[in-house]
Chains A and B, each alone.
Chain A
Amino acid sequence: MSESTGRAGRVRAGFTDLKHIFGGGQSDVRQFGILFSLIAIIALFQWSTNGLTLSSGNLINLVSQYSYILILAIGMVMVIICGHIDLSVGSIAAFVGIVVAISMNSWHFPWPLAILFGVFVGVVIGAWQGFWVAYIGVPAFIVTLAGMLIFRGGNQVIGNANTVPVPPGFTTIGAGYLPEIGPNTGYNNLTLLLGLAIAVTVVLKEWRAIRVQVSMGSAHAPLWVSIVKVVLLDTVVLFATMLFAGGREGTSFPISGIILGVLVLAYSFITRNTIFGRHVYAVGGNRLAAELSGVKSRRVNFMVMLNMSVLSALAGMIFVARSVASGPQDGIGWELDAIAAVFIGGAAVSGGIGTVTGSIIGGLVMAVLNNGLQLEGVGADKVQIIKGMVLLIAVGVDVWNKSQGRPSIIGFLTRNRNAAAPAPAEPTRKVPRNDPPHPSRPLVPAP
């Protein structure tokens, strides 16, 4: 970038460095903007609820109340990267929930076996839907719309439209907390340990990333960026740790939050660092090019749909555990929350773009918004209107920015400064290119 080294250039470079603090690369610029929106929303509610938002009780409640939506968002982002959509997740969650509840209640399955059984049912349902999408070629919208009806009905047929309770052991995955162990410190010791471990991991990971970058000789941000990043992140982690550990007696960091955390780490790794993850992006970005590069796109589509159903099964079980019973109205509208989280988190409707972390942040935006409005006593009717507007505006700003040739909210912020700079917008454009005016009929320039 041969940007003129004026004030504008420096300002822009400063923003770029700032972006590195949150790992904002090329592909996840929007994540950066949405992260700031999340912080802004938290700050706003913290102020308007007089500190209730960031209280121990509320934070613990927030995690256990929204973990299943965030788990769905993990699977949904992969579906959406592949260029599909899954409308059936809420119904599948409800279906698996009732099957698992009945397996324990009527067939007397021990609860660990029941969980395995629930995952198995998720696999079977996923294979069913994946088969129609990947091998028959029915659009996922249709397949999962059908699934939405089929499994909602299935829930009500199997459960006789009744609520089925689940035994206490099972409820741990939805309503349990990290247990109390060790000396009485006034805090939950395990939560403290967990928080410390995360804080140390953040430092080690950054240290390793710097070493890799230096050894590769690739472009890396200055050292102060890393230090600021680590300090900021660790402050947040430790602050949250104290809040989670210092909750009411008997509560601490929720088990469902642990499950969510493990899944986020696992799926971030899968999407970023594995061959399968690459193939998901490749199929969504350009299926034909992917196939001509040896990617078996049908298998990728099948696996992504299957995975979504397994995660739906998990989310359903966690919800049932949390509410101590499975009912016919479970999971209604979840698909829409999950889809909204993914799009707020930066995914593209056309496929090929999106990240797991982005979707989690998008989901948190929705969760905090929901939670904060509830704390303020805003009715569910108005909450829906506000959530709808947030979704539309978040994606709208992004689309508009892209059409202006600015890829991100940062681009939007630096817009006026750049306009003042005399430097040409894109120097490379000056080189005449012989791109053919009609792709199908290239014109050969006379030698």
Chain B
Amino acid sequence: MPANHTILEMRSITKEFPGVKALSDVSMAVQAGHIHAICGENGAGKSTLMNVLSGVHPAGSYTGDIIFQGEHVQFKDIGSSEAAGIVIIHQELALIPELSITENIFLGNEPTKHGAIDWVTAKRRALELLARVGLEDNPDTQIKHIGVGKQQLVEIAKALSKSVKLLILDEPTAALNEADSQHLLDLIRGLKGKGISSIMISHKLNEIEQVADSITILRDGRTIETLNVKADGVNEDRIIRGMVGRSLESRFPDRTPHIGEVFFEVRNWNVQHPQAAERMVVKNSTITVRRGEIVGLAGLMGAGRTELAMSVFGRSYGNFISGQIFKDGEEIHLRNVSEAIEHGLAYVSEDRKALGLNLIDDIKRSIVSAKLSKISNGQVVSAPMEYELSEAYRKSLRIKTPSVDYGVRKLSGGNQQKVVLAKWMFSDPDLLILDEPTRGIDVGAKYEIYGIIQALAAQGKGVVMISSELPELLGLTDRIYTIFEGAITDCIPTDQADPEALMKSMTSAKKKVQST
């Protein structure tokens, strides 16, 4: 094929963040009029690569070449990549809820006449653009009054208004239902017919198989392979093999599990999205946990893992619809967080800084914060007990700090996470739900945290561990549940699990739940 059919070529892109090589010698090429998919696990470097391409990471902050429409380009910000015709649509939509569709489409790019905004032209052009994306709503409608699916279409209309040549879509269907997804995919295919190429990042492999012309697979910041969908006969299994084809190393402390009886069960759990009542974020899910067992909960981002965990933890997320919780054979009702703590539950959030810690507090106050009653006489907190007990946790968890009087803000991510773990161990839980407990933590601290988790299980506590890293779940857990679109799709003993089967259950609704 002649070279002018390649609209975009990225050559040997390397991008480093302090301490992390996010992309290492990544190359890819997109043919004009193609839909090019990028696949990889969470953290494989997909988003970083797209941020390099769109100028979020400006030229100079990475090495390598970008050739767009036959020319070397160096984007210094999003504005310059958009001027060249590359538009990125992020997973979290960048629309302003209070503004109308028209205002959003032309935000930052308003048509003017004599220095004032020309609303007549704007509205006329908005109508044309909406027709192109198949949206029939009144362009004066506020964004907050239309659903997520339609908001995606507005994003695309906005991209079209900038005479886009290459459209980048980051998880475009993650928040959409089946019908909206299908409409969106059809639209992308339609745009392809009009000469607009797309790069699509998606976890939904069936969609990729359906619409993509070629696929680049990234793993650990490197290009693994580029597949041509038609020529190579690509299917989901083939993609998964490329994504997870990584050997497990001994990154985990040794452990002999001592697993007891089932003592905790969440049965037929249903939860609604807190804002959008029509969206069920957890659907009829059932999980059981035994004493001394580490249970994994595997799912892709947005699959409903955190939503399930937080809604169980005293209904701290979403609108509870139905379901039961049993502990030690009896049904318990956890209407708020303090009742959940009272009944021996602990939840370590995935967002340590926003939900896990009060960053302006010191270590000792953070450690005791979830169960002050334990060190209090009536309403009065005992300072000596606070110091003594938090000091004990500092020593046993090896939190690296000169003293427990230090502020948690000054600690590294790994040590902050140990403080969070200490906080919840201090509350004497029977069941710990750990949501991405090793996110953003270096390898050494990860090993220590794995050790802590194993020690908790050895004490007879139940642990539910949510993680985006399959190797972590395979190395640490005894049993793994997979969750997809809010529903539990499978439950596999870890010694019988393999990454490909798990990835398959995490990306498709297979109804075969065995609650062993």
Contacts and interface: CB of A to CB of B under 8 A. Distances in A.
B380 A292 contact: no
Given A216-B388, A293-B337, A442-B440, A433 B42 contact: no
A438 B405 CA distance: 29
B413 A441 contact: no
Contacts of A289: 349, 354-358
A443 B21 CA distance: 9
A381 interface: no
A293 B337 CA distance: 7
A183 interface: no
Contacts of B19: 432-435, 445
Interface string B13-33: 000011111100000000000
B6 interface: no
The 8 closest A-B pairs by CB, nearest first: A444-B43, A285-B358, A294-B338, A432-B19, A434-B442, A446-B220, A286-B358, A437-B17
Interface in B376-400: 376, 379-381, 383-384, 387-388
B48 A274 contact: no
B361 interface: yes
28 contacts: A216-B384, A274-B379, A274-B381, A277-B381, A278-B372, A281-B358, A282-B358, A289-B357, A290-B369, A292-B349, A294-B340, A294-B370, A295-B337, A296-B338, A431-B412, A433-B19, A433-B442, A434-B442, A435-B19, A437-B22, A441-B43, A441-B48, A442-B42, A443-B17, A443-B20, A444-B220, A444-B469, A447-B443
A281 B361 contact: yes
Contacts of A274: 379-381
A60 to B, nearest CB: 35
Interface string A406-447: 000000000000000000000010011111111111111111
Interface string A8-38: 0000000000000000011100000000000
A184 interface: no
Interface in A353-408: 353
A215 B355 contact: no
B422 to A, nearest CB: 13
B280 to A, nearest CB: 23
A107 to B, nearest CB: 37
B221 interface: yes
Contacts of A282: 358, 361, 369
Nearest to B381: A273
Interface of A: 1, 25-27, 212, 215-216, 218-219, 273-278, 281-282, 285-286, 288-296, 348, 352-353, 428, 431-447
Given A286-B354, A291-B337, 5 more contacts: A432-B19, A434-B443, A439-B351, A444-B41, A446-B21
B341 interface: yes
Interface in B327-359: 336-338, 340-341, 347, 349, 351, 353-359
B387 A216 contact: yes
Contacts of B471: 447
Interface string B303-315: 0000000000110
A444 B379 contact: no
Given A216-B387, A216-B388, A294-B370, A285 B440 contact: no
Most A CB contacts (10 A, CB to CB) among B41, B413, B423, B471 go to: B413
B44 to A, nearest CB: 8
B365 to A, nearest CB: 7
Contact of B387 (A218, A278, A446): A218
B440 A439 contact: yes
Nearest to B379: A274
A212 B17 CA distance: 46
Chain A interface, >50% SS class: loop
Given A289-B355, A292-B355, A26 B440 contact: no
A352 B358 contact: yes
Contacts of B360: 285, 348, 352-353
Contacts of B261: none
B341 to A, nearest CB: 5
Contact of A434 (B249, B361, B369, B440): B440
B403 A219 contact: yes
B224 to A, nearest CB: 13
Given A292-B355, A294-B337, A353-B360, A443 B45 contact: yes
Contacts of A353: 360
Nearest to B24: A446
B320 to A, nearest CB: 16
Nearest to B316: A292
A428 B412 CA distance: 9
Contacts of B469: 444
Contact of B383 (A212, A348, A435): A212
Contacts of A25: 405
B192 interface: no
B65 interface: no
Contact of B20 (A216, A276, A290, A437): A437
Contacts of A293: 337, 341, 369-370, 423
Contacts of B251: 447
B448 to A, nearest CB: 14
Contact of A436 (B362, B380, B440): B440
A444 B222 CA distance: 12
B204 interface: no
Given A285-B358, A288-B355, A443-B45, A215 B440 contact: no
B359 A286 contact: yes
Nearest to B314: A294
A275 B48 contact: no
Contacts of B211: none
Contacts of A440: 92
B115 interface: no
B51 to A, nearest CB: 8
Nearest to B44: A444
A435 B376 contact: no
B323 to A, nearest CB: 20
Contact of B369 (A218, A278, A438): A278
A430 to B, nearest CB: 11
B381 to A, nearest CB: 6
Contacts of A439: 351, 353, 440
Contacts of B412: 428, 431, 433, 435
Contact of A443 (B221, B347, B356, B362): B221
Contacts of B249: 447
Nearest to A209: B383
B406 A26 contact: yes
B379 A276 contact: yes
Contacts of B357: 286, 289
B111 interface: no
B402 interface: yes
B22 A273 contact: no
B351 A438 contact: no
A219 B362 CA distance: 15
Contacts of B442: 432-434, 445
Nearest to A287: B358
Contacts of A275: 372-373, 376, 379-381
B273 interface: no
Nearest to A218: B387
A433 B445 CA distance: 10
Given A275-B379, A435-B413, A445-B443, A27 B362 contact: yes
